[in-house]
């Protein structure tokens, strides 16, 4: 997972107790799923094969990044129906470029036979328009802290601190609210239970109306949200 229970417990000052482990176990996976949905992209490292619609634009945007530059990424363009993705429709590695940071894929000059022309007569190479006519295989995303050893020879980024802290904040908020609601506990009662100088109830934060996440978590997640 992108964040482990141990990391959440450290954030909440709970490393020396198992008292709230079940609550953290309950909320952590659902929070990570909710963060993925809000960010509109996968975040954890994987090798992915995906089919895209060509839109006569210069850029094809992958929804899993940063892209591992050492991975032998592949691109196919099929002009037939049904679509055929094989050696005959696969581009050579010098016919496309992938920006590792943004996940943007562009055709190079060597891909003239595959490309459409840019709008307005710009002459720039564009992806040919079509429904599910482009397939890409690539590796990308962030390496999870419980993922073990990284594949040799690949540059894979660890989960950034801002992303980790946002998930920890959301989990801590939901644990706090759950404890408050269970058994009819009041806000004042919770404030008698202190975790390393901070009361459980104080983990509750002002929520963003759209996402339902604490506002400070949304601020951190903005840098990781996929947008076209």
Express each pLDDT in 101-159 by its tens digit: 999 999 998 888 887 765 544 567 999 999 999 999 999 999 999 999 999 889 999 99
pTM: 0.85
3-state DSSP helix/strand/coil percent for the chain, to nearest 5?
35, 20, 40
Q: What is the mean pLDDT of the chain?
A: 88
Express each pLDDT in 185-211 by its tens digit: 544 444 445 554 455 555 566 899 999
Ramachandran class of 87: left when φ > 0, alpha when ψ lies in -120 to 50, beta otherwise:
alpha
């Amino acid at each position: 997972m992108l964040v482990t229970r141990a990391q959440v417990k450290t954030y909440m000052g709970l490393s020396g107790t198992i008292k709230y482990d079940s609550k953290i176990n309950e909320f952590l996976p659902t929070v990570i799923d909710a963060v993925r949905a809000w960010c509109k992209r996968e975040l954890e490292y994987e090798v992915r094969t995906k089919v895209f619609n060509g839109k006569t634009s210069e850029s094809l945007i992958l929804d899993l990044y940063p892209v591992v530059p050492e991975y032998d990424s592949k691109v196919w363009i099929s002009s037939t129906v049904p679509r055929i993705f094989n050696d005959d429709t696969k581009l050579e590695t010098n016919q496309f470029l992938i920006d590792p940071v943004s996940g943007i894929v562009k055709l190079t000059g060597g891909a003239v036979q595959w490309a459409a022309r840019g709008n307005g007569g710009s002459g720039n190479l564009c992806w040919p328009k079509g429904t599910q006519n482009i397939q890409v295989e690539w590796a990308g995303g962030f390496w999870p802290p419980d993922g073990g050893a990284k594949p040799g020879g690949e540059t894979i980024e660890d989960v950034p601190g801002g992303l980790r802290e946002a998930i920890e904040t959301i989990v801590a908020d939901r644990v706090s609210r759950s404890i408050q609601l269970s058994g009819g506990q009041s806000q004042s009662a919770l404030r008698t239970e202190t975790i390393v100088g901070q009361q459980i109830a104080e983990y509750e934060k002002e929520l963003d109306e759209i996402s339902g996440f604490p506002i400070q978590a949304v601020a951190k997640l903005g840098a990781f949200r996929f947008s076209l």
